[in-house]
Structure 1
């Protein structure tokens, strides 16, 4: 339980301050734990970043599936609506995972955490749409929204929704 609380606090700290800025001492303060406790659960800054990303990943998947239609076109539309909610509430500066990748391009553990997150999102798109053959296309629309959000905002989601409609209706 304490580990999850620390991971949640780390997620907030990295989301607000980025990855380069907060020192371990600042992260300790953000988590409201002792340095010993922080290091007990996350023995390095790298582990803190991975823990925050993994925590965020689970929150994100839960949000996408919250009140979701079982599958098909409505389920994918729902995912993009939830993506808009996520970007507005939790990621106004873009995808935290991609920001971590940009900050630590050569870090194997961080890269692996991001890759696993992205693969699970792609698999979710395939499952929810019931269109394994369009998993990559749907995933790329999702990623496009995440990347373009800081510049286009709601327009990115509207454009993606339009493309989803065309894609799913043309390939039926």
Structure 2
């Protein structure tokens, strides 16, 4: 239970405010877990960030796959429909993995590893949808671009513009 509370607090605070802006005391306060227990669960802030990202990766990719499986149409294009829904959520702040890499990745091999795993797993999922490695890699670029543009501009329609580009790629 306390691990879940800590990871819930970490995800909410790190995603909303950024990793460097959040201290372990903030996590303790938000989670209701003592600082001693927090450090028993996660001996360092880096370990906590890794735990947060690993859990977010699993949940994010599961939500995407569930959406794609539940809808009809070209599966590779449904990814962009899901992105639009995600971009319109009130707490959308962009890609947690790109954000974490930007803040900590070059200083933390552990965080870099989780970020790379997420991108490799997403690439593999896209390959499974379209059975075309070069196309999947191009779609991945469109996805990351759309996420970044939507986060920076606050415009969820970046998903539709990326989808339109994907249609050209798929039909080409």
CA distance in 1, matches of 2:21, 2:70: 41
Partner residue in 1 for 2:160: 158
Quick check: 1:80–1:161 contact (8 Å CA) kept in 2? yes
User: Structure 1 residues 8 and 89, CA, compared in 2 at 3 Å: closer, same or farther?
Assistant: same
- Structure 1: segments with no counterpart, 5+ residues: none
1:10 corresponds to 2:7: no
Partner residue in 2 for 1:140: 141
Partner residue in 1 for 2:110: 109
Shift of 1:86: 2.1
Moved more, 112-121 or 79-88: 79-88
Number of positions where the alignment pairs a residue of Structure 1 with one of Structure 2:
170
CA distance in 1, matches of 2:94, 2:146: 9
1:169 to 152, 168, 171: 171
CA distance in 2, matches of 1:20, 1:31: 18
Shift of 1:73: 6.0
User: Structure 1 residues 120 and 91, CA, compared in 2 at 3 Å: closer, same or farther?
Assistant: farther
Name the TM-score, length of structure 1 as normaliser: 0.88
Partner residue in 2 for 1:80: 80
Quick check: 2:101–2:112 contact (8 Å CA) kept in 1? yes
Shift of 1:161: 0.7
Q: Any idea what SS the aligned residue of 1:68 has?
A: helix
C-alpha RMSD of the superposition? 2.1
Name the TM-score, length of structure 2 as normaliser: 0.88
Partner residue in 2 for 1:68: 68
